[in-house]
Each structure stands twice: as structure tokens, then as C-alpha cells.
Amino acid sequence: MTVNDIKHARIKAWIEECVKMCEPDNVVVCDGSTAEYDRLMKKCVDAGLATPLAKKPNSFLFRSLPSDVARVESRTFISSVKEEDAGPTNHWIDPKELKATMKGLYTGCMHGRTMYVIPFCMGPLGSPIAKYGVELTDSEYVVLNMDIMTRAGEKVWEYFGTDGDFVPCLHSVGKPLNNGEKDNGVWPCADVEHKYISHFPEERLIWSYGSGYGGNALLGKKCFALRIATVIAREEGWLAEHMLILKLTNPQGEVKYVTGAFPSACGKTNLAMLIPTIPGWKVETVGDDIAWMKFGKDGRLYAINPEAGFFGVAPGTSAQSNKNALEAASKNTIFTNCALTEDGDVWWEGIGYPAKGKLVDWKGNTRDALPKDKSPKGEEFAHPNARFTAPAKQCPCIASDWESPEGVPISAILFGGRRPSTIPLVHQSRDWNHGVFLGSIVGSEITAASTIDASQVGKIRRDPFAILPFCGYNMGDYFQHWIDVGAAAAKRGKEDKLPKIFYVNWFRKDEDNKDLPGGFMWPGYGDNSRVLAWIFDRCDGKDNYVDTPIGFMPKEGALNLDGLDDVYKAQIPAITAVDKEGWLKECKDIRENHYPKFGKHLPKELSECLDDLESRLNKA
Ligand code: SAT
Ligand code: MN
């Protein structure tokens, strides 16, 4: 099929306009077939950009350039007409100015390259919650990844019809090849100052230039499914969230679905694929990164995973931390910036075993492997943001209904962060608005490992709803949208159908206790199922809680601790208590350093929650 065969006039016209601007050598409309995948992968291998892995069937390793290894927040723009609509936490450039700059960059940017047209669907095909897009890209790597991460190709056209809604997504690596020049095995991208990851929310348009990596380039993910989708969701009265979706089954065979938002490095993918340590319980995965949630006729909130694959962080993924993810990425997988072993496998720090012999590191240098599975900072064999792109259907714990078009009904929403002090193992919000308050204060403590600025260590880096870098409009208005969603449900008389909201913290620390590995007071991983089980019962209204100044917490004996190591059992009183002094300090930090950022956009309901929390603590 060629561009001329496209029945949707607006899509066709938009492609023609982009072709004129970018001047590719060829235009290919992707069909999403295996033959096409194999052909494009071979092109990458022949160009020296990809290495086939002898140890993993149909799997390949790519190495990017050190200047293109992650999202670039400083080059990510919400280009709304009014600056105020982008809000205090997004970068903004006037759309006219940004478009003029980017048109300059896009002009002739695809010389020597092919423009691929990728029609794609975010969500199960035909789902009433799904949305459609078309990505134009000059990167084969992007086509291959989009093939895994979305439903892409010929099968999608029928859902566009001749005039259906679509989000136009234009992408270029920003490296034209003039006069027969070749990539010569070097990852193509532009210098950092020429990278632009731009969103035009009023037009629901995405323009990305200069990066080939992850969320900068696979535009269905953070750009569409979060930044543009948050804008659409607000207008249409639903929720587009940076959340995992898991299916929880109790020993009686009863099922509940849970979503959860956690800042990066909190084990979100691990939680989505958890293997419970308590007998009879089962966790299955619906999604590991993004949830789109809409109200059903019954007043419940239904979630779909808009993605079809996992773009997971490789380092730290081991048989102990996430066996299911390893299995998902055991074949038909694209690895990026992992290390390569002599026998044709991938390796990364935290994989659970040392590598043997020599390794080719992510920069392409051959070095002797270390006798352990850790490396000094800066000398890693795999880049700390090395990734695997794996089809979700390969995950052994994928839920049978993960592609249910109507979505799965959500009973509970979790928030969490890395908080070595103050925040208990689990507490439940009193009501919806208090839950929104909990989402708004999400954050992780800054450690020496996460900053180069020693004065920041110990402070809380707030990442409300874990969506700060992914919200396409003013974060204050985003909080208001969550408040409004609850109010609308109440107005419909369906308040009791809203999901219950919980704050969890797997990361409490007691550095002085040498019996605790890493000082962590809770073992985490599979033992988090103990907390999920309490939450499950809470959703059924069981009398398993005590009312405290901060919300509802497990009453004594309500957490299933069977088989938990004694050293952790001894921590339970401390991690399930209210730390009054710590929480008063928390309130002060929110009042002085967090909420003022949102100015008049901060909903009054959230200030009221803060006042209420403080007065309850003072009375306690
Ligand atoms: O590169 S992505 O944006 O897809 C992943 C991430 O940074 O969370
Ligand atoms: Mn994410």
C-alpha cells in the first residue's frame, strides 16, 4: 500500500505535507507484518546498528550514542497557546515560535532516509477506550519498537475510517544523510540543543526531532498515551495515568484489579509482575506503565493498558526481582544499551550473576567482565537506563483479560515513593479527595545516588501522581480534574463505586539495624503481596483497619505475616505506626515547598485536606 491508497483524506494530506517538508528519499506505509519486521531488522543489522543475539531467539541488541540514552526533560515542551496552560512544571515555548524553529530543522531532514508511515492504535483494537495515531519516522529502530509497543500496521486502517480522529506524530532522528553518506553503524541523532520533544495540546499534535531513544521517539508512549491523552482525558472526563494495572486473585478465586502510580526506580514493573509469597494469592499483569480509565455505565472506573509491550529498564532485573520480566524478554525482544557477552547474550548490572570472560559494553568497548554483577558508577557495562522492548503477550503472568476491550474494573488505586522515613507501609485515604491529596504529595527522598548536589540529599523530590514529566497541561488543573472526577461520580450517586485510594511505602529504612539487608525494614518484592491482600479486603469493607490521624491503617493482626522472616516481623510495629513528628514536618514541607508551586491553580480541596491532616495530627 502507498500513501495514495490511504482513504482518510486528512491523514493523507498531513503525510503529503510532511513529505514535502522532510524530503525523504522514499515513503513506506508500514503493514505491521512479520516479513516487514524481519526486513527492517536485517537493514539495521546490515547497517551495523543491531547485533543478533545467539542466545535469545529473534532478539537483537542496539547501542545508542551517549548523548541519546534517555528522555530529555529539558528539551520536552508543552507548547500550548497560553503559557499558563502548560503550568509551572512544564517547559513552554510559544507554538508559533516553536513551529518556526522546528520547521527549519525538519526541512530536508530525511535526505538519504526512508519515511515510514506507522498507523497505530493505543489500546485493544476496537476498544471504546482506545485511541488512534499515525507516526511518521525516519528510524527503522522506531518502527521495530512501535511494532512491539503498539498495535500497528494494516489492521489499524479500518478503525480510522475516512475521517476518524487521529493524533499526528512526526518524528525524525535529525540526521540527514547527504551525498550518499551512511550511518556506518553509528546511532543517528542530533545534538542535545537541537532535540525537541514537542506537544501542541490544542491541536493534539506531536513533533519530535533529534532523538531516537525511547519515549522521545516511540511517540505512542509518553507523548501520546500520557501528555496528549491527559489533555484529551480532561476534556472528555476520564483519566490517562502513569500507572501499572494488576489483577489480584485471592485464595477463594475472587478477583480485583488495582492500578498504581510510582515515581521511577520504585519497582513499578516488578510490582505489576509480582510473585506472591502468601499461599493461594495470584498477581497477574494487565499493564506495567500506563492506564487509561473511563467510567462504565455501572459507575465503576474501567482501565485499559494502551500499550502492547513493555519498554522495561534492564539493569536490576533478575530472577529474584522479576522472573516474569526476564521470561517476557527471552525471545522476540529488542535490547538497547545492554552489554553483550561472548556467547551472544545480553548482560546488565543487577542481572543476578557475574558475566564470564569479555563483555562489549554499551559504548561498544570490549572489556574484562567483573567477578560480580555490580560496577562502579560511570563504569557500567550496561547503561543504567538500558532497556528491553518485549511483547506483553510473552509475559508468563499476563492476565487472560489484559486485552479486554471494555477494560477491567478498578477497585483500588495505589500511590507510593521511596520514603526511608515517615510514610508507613500502607494507609488508606478517608475519601476520594483525601486520596487525591495523597497522589499530589507522591515523591521520593533524594539520595546521594540520585543527585550530584549534596545540599539536596534528604529532601523530598515530589512527583505528584508520578506524572510530573508526563502531564500535558497545568499540574494544578490536573489535581482539579481528579477532584472533579470524584465530584461527578458523587453527583451521579456513584461515589461508593469509586476505587479506594492507598499510599504504600516499601522503602522504610533503619540504617542502624545491621540485620536488615540494605537497612530496609520491609523485604518488598513478593512480600508486597501481604499488603495487596490487606488492600483487597479493605475494598470489600472488611473490619481490618484502625482509624488514625493520617487515614485507615492495618489493625493489629490484620496483615498476613505467615512465613515472614522474624527480622521483618519485628519491624511491623514501627512501619505500621503514625510518626506524628515526621508527618507534621511533612505537612510543613508540603505547605512551604510543594503546594505554593501551583499558585491559584491548586484546588482548595487539597489545601483543606492538608489543614485537616495537620489538625488531626495536632489533636493526636
Ligand atoms: O523512555 S521512556 O519515556 O519511554 C521511559 C521512561 O523514561 O519512563
Ligand atoms: Mn513510565
Q: What local confidence, expressed as pLDDT, does residue 264 receive?
A: 87
Q: What local confidence, expressed as pLDDT, does residue 308 receive?
A: 98
Q: How confident is the model at residue 585 (pLDDT cuts 50, 70, 90)?
A: very high
Q: Which three cell numbers stand for residue 283?
A: 498477581
* φ, ψ for residue 320, nearest 5 deg: -80, -45
Q: What local confidence, expressed as pLDDT, does residue 421 receive?
A: 97
Are the C-beta atoms of 227 and 131 separated by less than 8 Å? no
* φ, ψ for residue 484, nearest 5 deg: -65, -40
Q: What local confidence, expressed as pLDDT, does residue 7 receive?
A: 96
Beta bridge partners of 168: 134
266 CA from centroid of ligand 1 (Å): 14
Are the C-beta atoms of 72 and 216 separated by less than 8 Å? yes
Domains assigned to the chain? 3-30+69-236 (3.40.449.10), 240-305+402-619 (3.90.228.20), 310-394 (2.170.8.10)
Beta bridge partners of 408: 303
The pLDDT of 370-391, averaged and rounded, is 96
Of ligand 1's atoms, which has the minimum distance to the CA of residue 313?
5
Ligand nearest the Cα of residue 311 is: 1
Q: How confident is the model at residue 448 (pLDDT cuts 50, 70, 90)?
A: confident
Q: What local confidence, expressed as pLDDT, does residue 450 receive?
A: 74
Instruction: Choose, from 18, 30, 223, 266, the residue flagged as catalytic.
Output: 266
Amino acid at 106: Y
**pLDDT reading at 119 higher than 90:** yes
Q: To 5 degrees, how large is the angle CA 426–CA 440–CA 85?
A: 160
Q: Is 266 a catalytic residue?
A: yes
Total-model pTM: 0.98
From 75, 189, 221, 310, the mutation candidate for ligand 1 (largest count of ligand atoms within 8 A of CB) is 221
Is any ligand 1 atom within 6 A of the Cβ of residue 195? no
**pLDDT reading at 357 higher than 90:** yes
Q: What local confidence, expressed as pLDDT, does residue 461 receive?
A: 95
Distance CA 168, CA 165 (A): 10
Distance CA 219, CA 216 (A): 7
Are the C-beta atoms of 209 and 85 separated by less than 8 Å? no
Of ligand 1's atoms, which has the minimum distance to the CA of residue 70?
1
Over residues 128-149, the pLDDT tens digits come to 999 999 999 999 999 999 999 9
**Mean pLDDT, all residues of the chain:** 97
Q: Which three cell numbers stand for residue 73?
A: 526533560
Q: How confident is the model at residue 581 (pLDDT cuts 50, 70, 90)?
A: very high
**pLDDT reading at 10 higher than 90:** yes
Question: Which of 375, 274, 594, 578 lies closest to 463, judged by CA?
Answer: 594
**pLDDT reading at 353 higher than 90:** yes
Q: What local confidence, expressed as pLDDT, does residue 434 receive?
A: 98
How many residues can be counted in the chain? 620
Find the helix or strand (DSSP H, E) in which 478 lies.
Answer: helix 475-491
Amino acid at 377: K
The pLDDT of 179-185, averaged and rounded, is 93
* Residue 236, helix vs strand vs coil: helix
From 141, 269, 311, the mutation candidate for ligand 1 (largest count of ligand atoms within 8 A of CB) is 311
Ligand nearest the Cα of residue 241 is: 2
Over residues 270-327, the pLDDT tens digits come to 999 999 999 999 999 999 999 999 999 999 999 999 999 999 999 999 999 999 999 9
Q: How confident is the model at residue 369 (pLDDT cuts 50, 70, 90)?
A: very high
Distance CA 575, CA 43 (A): 54
Q: What is the largest CA-CA distance in the chain?
A: 76
Q: What local confidence, expressed as pLDDT, does residue 303 receive?
A: 98
Distance CA 447, CA 508 (A): 14
Beta bridge partners of 91: 77
Q: What local confidence, expressed as pLDDT, does residue 449 receive?
A: 74
Helix, strand, coil abundance in the chain, percent, nearest 5: 35, 20, 45
Over residues 228-278, the pLDDT tens digits come to 999 999 999 999 999 999 999 999 999 999 999 999 889 999 999 999 999
From 62, 64, 68, 71, the mutation candidate for ligand 1 (largest count of ligand atoms within 8 A of CB) is 71
Over residues 413-443, the pLDDT tens digits come to 999 999 999 999 999 999 999 999 999 999 9
Distance CA 71, CA 605 (A): 33
The pLDDT of 546-568, averaged and rounded, is 98
Is any ligand 1 atom within 6 A of the Cβ of residue 227? no
**pLDDT reading at 451 higher than 90:** no
222 labeled binding residue = yes
450 labeled binding residue = no
Question: Which of 444, 466, 465, 464 lies closest to 456, judged by CA?
Answer: 444
Q: What local confidence, expressed as pLDDT, does residue 584 receive?
A: 98
* φ, ψ for residue 586, nearest 5 deg: -60, -45
